Amino acid sequence: MEATQMAVKLQRKSVKSLSTMSASEAKMMQEVNALLGYGVGNTEAAYNSVLEILKKVDIDPLDPTKVEAYKKEHTRTEYTSYGMNRYRHTYSWHTIELRKYKREIPAFVLARALQIQKAMNAMHIAGTFEVHELSYRSEYIDPFLVLCVGKHKLYLDVWDEPKFEGRRTV
């Protein structure tokens, strides 16, 4: 992938700009669910609570619009010819639950996931961690750690992407 120039630059985005409701609305929706058993809107409340957790632990996720553009830019099919034969090579993204992921993940990524999960458990918030990675032939590159809360995806980290944070440590 080093041979091509990438136009999309990954950036972090302030948690404040990702909120879908105010902190007081999110707190009220959690109380409504706990006391009245009414859960419509609770996913948004859970998402906003996760954003509050990220604020407290000083984590800004990656800008989702930049990540989606980056992923789209890297999804492609290339053709090469050797003599009379033509070969097709596809770059495509795959999603794997974190618990089923079999490749090594850097300690800084796992530490971040653990910190967030503990805080979510303390607040009884459901969410799942996934890894989104680009596959090309038998290589897997540019993995992202993603936290899913309802329909929302928070891209928390990326590794094996040398132009971003691939060399960061805990």
Any domain includes 80: yes
Q: What does the pLDDT read at residue 163?
A: 55
CA dihedral 129, 139, 7, 20 (to 10 degrees): -10
Any domain includes 126: yes
The tokens for 134 are 């680009």
**Rounded distance between C-alpha atoms, residue 98 and residue 146, angstroms:** 9
Any domain includes 115: yes
Domains: count for the chain: 1
91 and 74 Cβ atoms separated by less than 8 Å: yes
Residues of the chain with pLDDT under 50: 1-4, 165-167, 169-170
Any domain includes 33: no
Any domain includes 76: yes
pTM exceeds 0.85 for this model: no
Q: What does the pLDDT read at residue 128?
A: 96
Any domain includes 12: no
Any domain includes 72: yes
The whole domain housing 141 covers 60-158
Any domain includes 34: no
Q: What does the pLDDT read at residue 6?
A: 56
Residue with tokens 């090469």: 80
